[in-house]
Structure 1
Amino acid sequence: MPVTQRIVPNIWCNGNAEAAGAFYGKALPFARSEVESRYPLEDLPEFQEHLAGAPLVVAVDVAGTKLRLINAGPEFRPNQSISLMLNFDPLLFEDGSSPGHSSAAARRSLAATWERLAEGGVVHMELGEYPFAKLYGWVEDRYGLNWQLMLTNPEGEPRPFVIPALMFGGAAQGRAAEAADFYVSLFKKSRGRSGIGNRYPYGVPTGPAGPGELAFGEFRIGNQWFIGNDDGSGQTPNFTHGVSLEVRCKDQAEIDRLWEALSADPEAEMCGWLKDRFGVSWQIVPSNVEELLERPGAYDRILGMKRLVIADF
């Protein structure tokens, strides 16, 4: 199901974004990758000179949902705080046979995807049957990106194949509902229906989570779904720049509005990046940022900016 995206997950890679993109293009169903932009050939700061001409951003399209891989250094790495849920809905895997056959096809695709992602990675929840799903598993792949794979009930309300999932633990413990309400309010003018979806509290104390905290929650920004849960294990690290959420803005006024509403840590502001009150990292950029970066000296100028100013490119 194609997704009209307002927000694009960006994944930090340690010099291997092109290889990671090629891997995801083969490991995931309905996926392909391409180099979207490259580092300039000259005028790079000393710490990036080895990246001259190398891919800067690699785009991965998974069933109509775009991800961007940022080719950088070892400063950050994705972790469990933001993962990507893959919904293996049997209706996506119709093979012209009965619904039972389509369910079998979805199971086969899920199992094959799991095997590819788990190779060289770390399994956090074994693939198997759980109270909430007939087939589910959580795996961290060889590049550090976390994935949740679930066989979806085709009789339920449809959801996209890929859904970003935010786990509020550590310093953000217990704030999943608050964050969802804030994000929906902030982006309420997005195209499509924004709002809160299903919410299921733990009901009883579970690890660091109180009974009213969310074992599962979801919210919608425009036509794009997100999951927001509170950590019940005590093992979820804080949010980092390893996975950030990118918003393309139509003009300077929109950049300014989102920046003022989201930025909560002046020390984290750099090159259009910010950190919000929950610790989640965002990139607030012009819709034509690639075109702007092609201007002479633009790459050097953006390194000196915090909030991006279109007129200064």
Structure 2
Amino acid sequence: MQQKISPFLWFNGCAEDAVNFYASVFAEAKIGKTMRASKAGPGPEGSVLTIGFELFGRKFTAFNFPTDFKFTEAVSFVVECKDQAEVDYYWDCLSEGGEPRDCGWIRDRFGVFWQITPTRLIDLMTDADPNVAARAATAMMTMQKIDIAALERAVAAP
């Protein structure tokens, strides 16, 4: 089935660098078609306008044009991680040159926001026992990078 809706990310002149970075971080990423400016513009002839790319089979478009627009936390991408090794990997890669935030959030070096989220956190925070969910939420609120073992200790505490 064709993906009818996809993110279109406006980078301030660094789209090509961003796409190459994401392709190096995410396994099986694909870089697609690149659209370049013509003599008519916009921008210098031959400069990158858009680059298509895929992360885990999801299509994105990176737009490359200088602007004052900035990414905000209002839109972020959740990376679901099966274990602590995956959390550590994505956290380390995406936070390099970026800004780690609380509760598993990162602003990467290009300004894009990511949530590095272990599936175990979601399981605990949606537990049928409201005490388990509350202890997991309380523990998460003290973390930047999510620590699954610390979450498990927190929910096991009486």
Which category describes the TM-score, using the shorter chain as reference length?
A: 0.7 to 0.9
SS in 2 for 1:228: strand
User: Which of 122, 128, 131 lines up with 1:290 in the alignment?
Assistant: 122
Q: Radius of gyration: which is bigger? A: 1
In 2, the alpha carbon distance for the partners of 1:308 and 1:184 equals 24
Structure 1 residue aligned with 2:38: 203
Structure 1 residue aligned with 2:155: none
- Answer yes or no: is 1:307 the counterpart of 2:141: no
In 2, the alpha carbon distance for the partners of 1:183 and 1:259 equals 13
In 2, the alpha carbon distance for the partners of 1:206 and 1:165 equals 20
SS in 2 for 1:162: coil
Matched length: 144
Structure 2 residue aligned with 1:230: 64
CA contact (8 A) 2:7 2:59 kept: yes
- Answer yes or no: is 1:162 the counterpart of 2:5: yes
CA contact (8 A) 2:120 2:148 kept: no
Structure 2 residue aligned with 1:214: 48
TM-score by length of 1: 0.43
Structure 1 residues 58-137: aligned runs within 5 Å: none
Structure 2 residue aligned with 1:254: 86
Deviations 1:44-85 (CA, angstroms, capped at 9, x unpaired):
xxxxxxxxxxxxxxxxxxxxxxxxxxxxxxxxxxxxxxxxxx
Counterpart amino acid of residue 224 in structure 1 = R
In 1, the alpha carbon distance for the partners of 2:91 and 2:35 equals 31
Deviations 1:88-119 (CA, angstroms, capped at 9, x unpaired):
xxxxxxxxxxxxxxxxxxxxxxxxxxxxxxxx
Q: What's the CA shift for 1:291? A: 1.3
SS in 2 for 1:178: helix
Counterpart amino acid of residue 7 in structure 2 = P
Q: What's the CA shift for 1:250? A: 1.0
Q: What's the CA shift for 1:205? A: 8.2
Q: CA RMSD in A?
A: 2.1
CA contact (8 A) 1:271 1:308 kept: yes
In 2, the alpha carbon distance for the partners of 1:211 and 1:182 equals 24
Structure 2 residue aligned with 1:279: 111
In 2, the alpha carbon distance for the partners of 1:231 and 1:212 equals 13
Give unmatched runs, 5+ long, in structure 2: 152-158
In 2, the alpha carbon distance for the partners of 1:303 and 1:210 equals 47
SS in 2 for 1:197: strand
In 1, the alpha carbon distance for the partners of 2:4 and 2:139 equals 38
- Choose between structure 1 and 2: higher helix proportion: 2
TM-score by length of 2: 0.81
Q: Kindly, what percent of the aligned residue pairs are identical?
A: 33
Structure 2 residue aligned with 1:15: none
Deviations 1:13-39 (CA, angstroms, capped at 9, x unpaired):
xxxxxxxxxxxxxxxxxxxxxxxxxxx
Change (3 A) 1:204 1:245: farther
- Choose between structure 1 and 2: higher strand proportion: 1
In 1, the alpha carbon distance for the partners of 2:106 and 2:73 equals 9
Change (3 A) 1:303 1:212: farther
SS in 2 for 1:163: coil
Change (3 A) 1:310 1:204: farther
Q: What's the CA shift for 1:254? A: 0.7
User: Which of 167, 187, 191 lines up with 2:26 in the alignment?
Assistant: 187
Change (3 A) 1:211 1:304: farther
